[in-house]
Amino acid sequence: MALLLVLAPTAHAQITPPVPEHRADPTLTTHVQRSGPYNLGPYATLFESVKVAPPDVPGAIVGMDVRLVDKDGTVLPQYTAMLHHIVYTNGGPDDQRRDPMCPLKRTRERFYGTSEELRPLTLPPGYGYPSNPADKWRSSLMVMHHRSGTQEFYVETRVTIDPRPVIPVKPYWLSVIPCSPDPQWSVPGRGSKEHRRARTFDMPEAGRIVAVGGHLHGGANELILSQPGCKYRTLVTNKPFYAPSDDKLYAVRPLLHEPDPKAISWWQSPTGYAFQKGETLKVTASYDNTRPHTRVMGISHVYVAPPAPGAPDVKCAPAPPDAQELGAEFPRARTAPPKLRLTLSRVGGDGRARPTTQADGSAREIEGPTTSVTVRDFRFSAPNLVVGRGAIVRWRFPDDERHDVTLADGPVGFGSPWSQDGDQYGRRFTEPGRYLLMCSLHSAFMNQVVTVRSSPPRRPDADRPRR
Ligand SMILES: [Cu+2]
């Protein structure tokens, strides 16, 4: 009896001339791979970690990008299905290759990532990231759906390969919050005009920085890569570019998160900036601090070539004369973060989410200094909570579904880590006012208003267990 083997491919590959975004030699080829379909429910956030096949020819990657497309290959606009971020990792042929900057964790080598900024990977001519058909690649992605109904999409990865010998680059993922699957923090939005957060990194090998990309969130001013050993000079500034105010990105209602920049600048130079083995590099993210910005990031993507062949690299050599900065490729880009205010949203009987600033249900007044909220079955147990100034609210997350508690609007920005399986997160509310809170992963469905009175808790021991 003959067996008919039916393969249901989840990925298909295709070869094209180089796509213009890769700025590659026109004699090369681009390998296009599509995975999917994926389906997003109403206002859903999708997390996926998927295997990606590297191009089936050996060589070096000189250009790479990714987009969401429908079944006909048409690119989906960000205001329908939004690629919030995607990171590609490479374990090498033995799947043992790890990020040297995360020695305590088994983080695989991250070699390309993009996000709402959709910045392609490009490298100066003559440089490439080595690619072997036996390499073990994966991608992890997060996609947000801003509408009711369902949305089907495919992830299209485009890689341009140079089969000729090139100078190899090594990718370094320098995140202000390093080695975390959720490398975020929140900008409080009060006090000084600017909020900065920085981290230093000791580089394990000498090299030359030949390309630098980056990732920032909404509210960002810039991302700075600097060299403390050379009088803290700035090597590269990645600048965010925001969409014009009439971009449909901002017309999404309700706005389920503060949109990221629509582009971020990319820097590249064949000469590069040299650094020594063990030398420190510093990454600084600058954000607007006149309003809260929650769950922000600051990640520098640094591509490093070996020290210059022949002549040794000069310490603190002047800025390379051949540096090139790639900016926004859309009209009327804005460089200052737009002033946006988020609301909460609530899904009505018709399945559509609508903006609201009102709490659900009647107020639960807490007289004592502490209280707890259980986040269970996609719901905050006290959706309308009133506490005294200085009270501590503790959220408990017993479900195996991942949630968080994040400010949408209010006096001070904050956000918990993603939490599940009994995790807890506590916060003292020292500023009176109304805090509109949501779960950032389910922001159309899960919200809570915490009102902080201007007076302190009335009965200091009211919530303590009685003897
Ligand atoms: Cu949630």
Give the domain CATH number at 432.
Answer: 2.60.40.420
**C-alpha span between 329 and 44 (Å, rounded):** 29
Distance in Å, CA 402 to ligand 1 centroid? 6
The answer as to whether 1 is a domain residue is no
Distances (CA, A) of 391 to 394, 460, 462: 10, 10, 12
Distance in Å, CA 289 to ligand 1 centroid? 26
Q: Which domain holds residue 399?
A: 344-452
The answer as to whether 50 is a domain residue is yes
Do residues 269 and 186 share a domain?
A: yes
User: For the CA atoms of the chain, what is the radius of gyration?
Assistant: 24
Do residues 324 and 349 share a domain?
A: no
Do residues 218 and 295 share a domain?
A: yes
Do residues 321 and 357 share a domain?
A: no
Residue 434, C-beta contacts closer than 8 angstroms, at least 6 positions apart? 357, 410, 411, 449, 450, 451, 452
Of 249-253, 431-435, 440-444, the least confident: 249-253
What is the pLDDT, as a whole number, of residue 4? 40
Provide the CB-side half-sphere exposure for 17 (13 A, CA). 5
What is the pLDDT, as a whole number, of residue 16? 94
Taking the CA atoms of residue 247, residue 252, residue 258 and residue 263 in that order, the dihedral angle to the nearest 10 degrees is -30
Do residues 306 and 159 share a domain?
A: no
Mean pLDDT, range 166-191, rounded to an integer: 95
Of 311, 340, 369, the domain-final residue: 340
Residue 5, C-beta contacts closer than 8 angstroms, at least 6 positions apart? none
Residue 165, C-beta contacts closer than 8 angstroms, at least 6 positions apart? none
Task: Name the token pair of 415.
Answer: 């956000």
Do residues 196 and 313 share a domain?
A: yes
The answer as to whether 44 is a domain residue is yes
Distance in Å, CA 113 to ligand 1 centroid? 24
Residue 217 belongs to domain with CATH number: 2.60.120
Answer yes or no: is pLDDT of 209 > 90: yes
Confidence of residue 7 (pLDDT cuts 50, 70, 90): very low
Distance in Å, CA 31 to ligand 1 centroid? 37
Of 301, 320, 340, the domain-final residue: 340
Mean pLDDT, range 420-440, rounded to an integer: 97
Residue written as tokens 């159309």?
444
Share of the chain above pLDDT 90, in %: 83
The answer as to whether 334 is a domain residue is yes
The answer as to whether 174 is a domain residue is yes
**C-alpha span between 186 and 184 (Å, rounded):** 7
Do residues 79 and 97 share a domain?
A: yes
Do residues 202 and 81 share a domain?
A: no
Distance in Å, CA 384 to ligand 1 centroid? 17
Do residues 160 and 225 share a domain?
A: no
Do residues 95 and 158 share a domain?
A: yes
Q: How do residues 132-148 score in pLDDT, each as one tens digit?
A: 999 999 999 999 998 88
Distance in Å, CA 445 to ligand 1 centroid? 8
What is the total residue count of the chain? 467
Q: How do residues 113-124 score in pLDDT, each as one tens digit?
A: 999 999 999 999
Of 145, 165, 185, the domain-final residue: 165
Mean pLDDT, range 29-48, rounded to an integer: 93
Query: Positive or negative CA dihedral for 140, 143, 149, 154?
Result: negative
Give bridge partners of residue 374 from the DSSP assignment.
396
Distance in Å, CA 153 to ligand 1 centroid? 22
Distance in Å, CA 306 to ligand 1 centroid? 44
Distance in Å, CA 28 to ligand 1 centroid? 45
Do residues 53 and 185 share a domain?
A: no
What is the pLDDT, as a whole number, of residue 10? 52
Distance in Å, CA 376 to ligand 1 centroid? 9
The answer as to whether 461 is a domain residue is no
The answer as to whether 464 is a domain residue is no
Question: How many domains does one find in the chain?
Answer: 3
Do residues 262 and 160 share a domain?
A: no
Residue type, 226: S
Task: Name the token pair of 403.
Answer: 């949630």
What's the mean per-residue pLDDT of the chain?
Answer: 92
Residue type, 1: M
What is the pLDDT, as a whole number, of residue 141? 94
What is the pLDDT, as a whole number, of residue 457? 87
Q: How do residues 281-335 score in pLDDT, each as one tens digit?
A: 999 999 999 999 999 999 999 999 999 877 667 889 999 999 999 999 899 999 9
The answer as to whether 283 is a domain residue is yes
